[in-house]
A and B are shown apart, each in its own frame.
Chain A
Amino acid sequence: KAGVTQTPRYLIKTRGQQVTLSCSPISGHRSVSWYQQTPGQGLQFLFEYFSETQRNKGNFPGRFSGRQFSNSRSEMNVSTLELGDSALYLCASSLTPRGPETQYFGPGTRLLVL
C-alpha cells in the first residue's frame, strides 16, 4: 500500500507570493492533517480535514488555509508569504479523525521563502 505522498518536495518562493501544497493520503484514509515544522517552533498543528470539512485548526493566521477533496486528497495554501513561513510542511493521514487513530506522515514539502 502506498504511503502518504506530498508534492512538491521542495519549493522556493519570494515574499508576498502564495503557494499551494498537495497531499495524497494512504488509500482508505479519510482524515488529513497538516503540520508545520521549524527549528524555532518545532512541530505545530495547522489544521485537520475529514469528509471535506475542516474539523480542527491550530493557532495560525488566516493566510494559512486548506481544503479537502472528495477523494480525500488535500491541499494547503499560504498567501502573502513571509520569511517566517520557511519550514517543512508535513501532511499526515489516518483512517478517521478519532483520537486513537495513528497518523502516518508523508515526506514533507520543504518551503523556502526568500
Chain B
Amino acid sequence: AQKVTQAQTEISVVEKEDVTLDCVYETRDTTYYLFWYKQPPSGELVFLIRRNSFDEQNEISGRYSWNFQKSTSSFNFTITASQVVDSAVYFCALGSNFGNEKLTFGTGTRLTIIP
C-alpha cells in the first residue's frame, strides 16, 4: 500500500522568512510520481510540481524549490522569502501506474504567513 506522511500539521512564519514543508512517502513501486498541490481558502487544488521517481534532480521555480531524495523517500518543498499569498494548505501526493488509487495524498500542511 502507498502512504504519504506530512508530519507538520501547521506552520506559521513571519513574512520573508524561508519555510520548508516535509513529505515522506512509502511505496513498493519502482516507478512512481510525486506531486505538490496548493489549496487556498477557495478550495481548488492548484498543481505546483510533478517529479518522476527516476529523476532525482532538484528543481527551482522562482521562490519555490523542491528537494527529492530517494534514499530517504522524501520530497520536501521550500518557499524562500515567504509572502502572505503563500498562506494555504499544501498537499504532497504519490501516484503510480499500478493499483486502484489514482493519487494518494498526505494529510496536508497548513501554512500561515504572518505579515
Point out residues on A near B: beta carbons under 8 Å: 33, 35, 42-45, 48, 56-58, 88, 90, 92, 97-100, 102-108, 110
- Asked if B64 is at the interface (CB within 8 A of a chain A CB), the reply is no
Is there contact, CB below 8 Å, between A108 and B100?
no
Chief secondary structure at chain A's binding surface: strand
- Asked if B57 is at the interface (CB within 8 A of a chain A CB), the reply is no
Residues of B within 8 Å of A35, CB to CB, are: 103, 105
User: Separation in Å of the B36 CB from the closest CB of chain A?
Assistant: 11
Residues of A within 8 Å of B103, CB to CB, are: 33, 35, 45, 103
User: Given A33-B103, A57-B100, A102-B47, 5 other A-B contacts at CB below 8 A?
Assistant: A42-B107, A45-B101, A90-B45, A100-B33, A108-B43
Residues of A within 8 Å of B100, CB to CB, are: 45, 56-58
Is there contact, CB below 8 Å, between A110 and B108?
no
The 5 closest A-B pairs by CB, nearest first: A99-B97, A105-B45, A43-B105, A107-B44, A108-B43
Complex CA–CA separation, A61 to B7 (angstroms): 29
Q: Which of A42, A104, A108 contacts B105 (CB 8 A)?
A: A42
Q: Interface size for chain B: under 10, 10 to 19, 20 to 34, or 35 or more residues?
A: 20 to 34
Is there contact, CB below 8 Å, between A106 and B101?
no
Complex CA–CA separation, A90 to B39 (angstroms): 12
- Asked if B42 is at the interface (CB within 8 A of a chain A CB), the reply is yes
The contact string, 1 if C-beta is below 8 Å from chain A, for chain B 77-115, is: 000000000000001010111101111111110000000
Residues of A within 8 Å of B96, CB to CB, are: 99
Complex CA–CA separation, A92 to B47 (angstroms): 11
Is there contact, CB below 8 Å, between B43 and A104?
no
Complex CA–CA separation, A100 to B32 (angstroms): 8
Complex CA–CA separation, A88 to B95 (angstroms): 21
